[in-house]
Structure 1
Amino acid sequence: MHHFLARADFPAMLETLAAAGFTCIGPQVRQGSIVFDQLHEVAQLPQGWQDEQQPGSYRLHQTGSPYWFDWANGASAIKPYTFAPQESLWKAVRDESGRLHFKTILPKPQKTAILGVRACDLAALAIQDQHFLHGTYPDPYYQQRRENLLLIGVNCTHAAATCFCVSTGDGPDILDGYDLLLSETAEGFVLQTGSEQGQQIADQLPLAQATQEQLLTAQERMQPARQQQRSLPDKPPLYDKLQHTHWQEVGARCLACGNCTSVCPTCFCHQEVEHPALDGTGSTHERLWNSCFDPNHSYIHGGAVRRSHADYYRQWLTHKLAGWHEQFGRSGCTGCGRCITWCPVGIDLTEEVGSLTT
């Protein structure tokens, strides 16, 4: 059943989440970008703000509209709240006899509700779940955070010039993976539930049954996000193009800064480091986000396998768009376009694939 939550009643959602023990994370304008951070009141939402994105460019402008979610994603959304950028995994401690003992350091996450999640990020989360949870050895650190997460999706009404989720089959409509789903209109939100936990929250909200007119308006508002998109072929034959001269051309532009992997919602490369205590009594083992653009990422005894920027970019693109089909049964790209927007030199994944495959 489709319900309707009036815009004036939206604060009740934040109050209900707080009463249920959730810390609410939501979109807000911060230093010229829409970011996700702790949300206490409706006034923090980016009302009237819309983005303009191009390769290597991100700008916000005020439209004066009543909409809170009429924008395409900024640099991040879900990933930092499940796969932590930096965390301690275990600690080694030496006792009085000199013996070493190892102690696991599991996180103690709060119940967290993320408001404003988009289709591309829910698709990316499903890939992260497949990697961290559904293998032989589930990652307990990721699992602790994932199990304490409530996801409130919002259907897209605006696509950035860098978006291509229609090509990957991951948006802009949200089909699954949510606890609550909102479709924004001027008067309020068409609301659907996707889980028992989401239903428990919805049961406490001042909802009415959505009318046919409200449903039609919500669908019409999603049309621009479906149409204003670039395209990417499914499973481009990149492994057949490993010696293509274009790798050197794009490598000459690439800074190997790792921005693309940091903002990518599916990338999960990391490194593990030791922080020994100065007095020799123990050591803490940490996991940090890393990137295949790091020269040390491919280091083995005797040197690195990949030694140039062209090598780094070729590894990233071929693995993301071709190798992931073998690993996960689908592409590692969900069409969010962040790697294009946040590349400081404006390297465009969709254009590079076109240059490599034509």
Structure 2
Amino acid sequence: MKNDKDRQAYVMQGSQDLRALFESIQRAGYRIAGPRFRDSAIVFEFLERFEDLPFGFEESQKPGSYRLKAAANAFYFAYSVGPQSLKAILHPARRKLFEGNRVGGHWQFTAEEKEEPPVALFGIRSCDLKALHELDKVFQGRNAIDAHYSRRRQGLIVVSASCRKPSELCFCTSMGHGPMATDGFDINLTEYLSHQRHEFLARPGTARGHEFLKSLDLRVADELAMDEEETVVRKARERIKKTLPTKGLPTFLKDNLEHPQWDDVARRCLSCGNCTMVCPTCFCTTVDDITDLRGEHTERWLRWDSCFNFDFSFIHGGAVRPTTRSRYRQWLTHKLATWHDQFKSWGCVGCGRCIAWCPVGIDLTEEVKSMKVTHEESYGHNKLV
């Protein structure tokens, strides 16, 4: 985005200007979804007031471990990502599709179509913004359009926040983005301390975002503020040590469907589905039909499902993927191989959630690397860099 007179970056003074932006979006009629502290984690849900935003937290993430702690310097966006993503806002874990009632001997069915205010996503990270683009392909691409997703997506405002301290499990740079969003947002915020002053550099990405910032009477960012933003992003990028070798990866995985590493990971995997629940791009669902005892009222509900569940692939004659090995292989190859066949992109955004929230700490980056090493030892050449 060019930093011309119509797209100037601005400096926001600490919490007072951040509050002003938050409340100006609310006054415009938007329902804000963003991070908050709850149940010893940073969760992503609808917020009622500015004070709901988390302040002064950072976290430690390791395979199978997530811990929040007080930050040495108090920031709003010092953490990386919690267990929830924006997926829960646009594609809720459970929602009613329709209900039916028996009236005078006949059934009348009513679709669940509630009028809702437009939504603003506040403080999302580059990885979740990338996930939003992938969900768009799933729910608004080709010939199948999810009406509920499209209603919430229409008019959506996105306020992203650059990562200050990516976790030990982040590998967004391997997936071609981060730690600062470069497009797809209305406003991007980079938080920093300048001479002990708490500030944000706010970059508008759209005319709509620019109008919100202009309404706050902010000062235009100078070279010092630009340098502060560059420093935050550079240090964040340097903190990202975890990598995923992606060159030739889709072909490599599809050529190694019988690799012994699938058996090795299956011995550790609990097939619990945690990885799919926290993943910002997993979209599998099933439906539940509910009836009352008198047979006069029925409801159909959509809810998240997981390819790790035995029944998910059940068809006439049995389950297509009866083993943990086959289900883990399906999940990993979809994210890193066949997603390319469907959507011409990665199904993984490098957020590291599946590693942190796996009860036994399975790390997909290490599984791929182990597969590569044993393949090279067996065949003596490198198909994956």
Which of 216, 220, 233 aligns to 1:222? It is 233
Count how many residue pairs are aligned between Structure 1 and Structure 2: 357
CA offsets 1:251-272 (integer angstroms, 9 cap, x no match): 1111111110000000000001
Structure 2 letter corresponding to 1:231: T
In 2, distance between residues paired with 1:90 and 1:357?
A: 48
Structure 2 letter corresponding to 1:116: G
Matches for 1:315-326 after TM superposition, within 5 Å = 315-326=330-341
Question: Given that residues 238 and 357 in structure 1 are in contact (C-alpha distance below 8 angstroms), is that contact kept between their aligned partners in structure 2?
Answer: no
- Are residue 80 (structure 1) and residue 91 (structure 2) matched? no
- Are residue 211 (structure 1) and residue 212 (structure 2) matched? no
Which of 318, 322, 328 aligns to 1:303? It is 318
The alignment's TM-score, normalised by the length of structure 1, stands at: 0.95
Residue segments in structure 1 that go unaligned for 5+ positions in a row: none
In 1, distance between residues paired with 2:233 and 2:181?
A: 11
CA offsets 1:208-260 (integer angstroms, 9 cap, x no match): 10010011011101122212221112252111111111111111111111110
Matches for 1:263-282 after TM superposition, within 5 Å = 263-282=278-297
Shift of 1:125: 0.6
In 1, distance between residues paired with 2:128 and 2:203?
A: 18
Question: Given that residues 107 and 144 in structure 1 are in contact (C-alpha distance below 8 angstroms), is that contact kept between their aligned partners in structure 2?
Answer: no
Shift of the 233–107 alpha-carbon distance from structure 1 to 2, 3 Å rule, reads farther
- Who is 1:231 aligned against? 243
- Are residue 251 (structure 1) and residue 258 (structure 2) matched? no
In 2, distance between residues paired with 1:66 and 1:153?
A: 19
In 1, distance between residues paired with 2:108 and 2:52?
A: 47
In 1, distance between residues paired with 2:226 and 2:55?
A: 22
Question: Given that residues 170 and 335 in structure 1 are in contact (C-alpha distance below 8 angstroms), is that contact kept between their aligned partners in structure 2?
Answer: no
Which of 216, 228, 240 aligns to 2:255? It is 240
CA offsets 1:117-170 (integer angstroms, 9 cap, x no match): 001111111010111012213110111111253211001121111000000002
Shift of 1:43: 4.0
Structure 2 letter corresponding to 1:49: F
- RMSD over aligned CA atoms reads 1.6
In 2, distance between residues paired with 1:155 and 1:89?
A: 36
- Who is 1:62 aligned against? 70
The alignment's TM-score, normalised by the length of structure 2, stands at: 0.89
Matches for 1:340-351 after TM superposition, within 5 Å = 340-351=355-366
Residue segments in structure 2 that go unaligned for 5+ positions in a row: 1-7, 374-385
Shift of 1:9: 2.4
In 1, distance between residues paired with 2:228 and 2:344?
A: 35
In 2, distance between residues paired with 1:275 and 1:191?
A: 48
Which of 105, 112, 120 aligns to 1:113? It is 120
In 2, distance between residues paired with 1:16 and 1:89?
A: 33
Question: Given that residues 178 and 195 in structure 1 are in contact (C-alpha distance below 8 angstroms), is that contact kept between their aligned partners in structure 2?
Answer: yes
Matches for 1:156-235 after TM superposition, within 5 Å = 156-186=163-193, 187-229=198-240, 230-234=242-246
Question: Given that residues 90 and 284 in structure 1 are in contact (C-alpha distance below 8 angstroms), is that contact kept between their aligned partners in structure 2?
Answer: yes
In 2, distance between residues paired with 1:60 and 1:103?
A: 44
In 2, distance between residues paired with 1:92 and 1:40?
A: 33
In 2, distance between residues paired with 1:127 and 1:44?
A: 28
Shift of the 83–41 alpha-carbon distance from structure 1 to 2, 3 Å rule, reads closer
In 2, distance between residues paired with 1:108 and 1:233?
A: 45
Shift of 1:42: 4.4
Q: What SS is found at the alignment partner of 1:267?
A: coil
- Who is 2:328 aligned against? 313
Which of 31, 41, 49 aligns to 1:23? It is 31
- Who is 1:287 aligned against? 302
In 2, distance between residues paired with 1:109 and 1:26?
A: 17
- Are residue 150 (structure 1) and residue 157 (structure 2) matched? yes
Structure 2 letter corresponding to 1:10: L
Structure 2 letter corresponding to 1:184: E
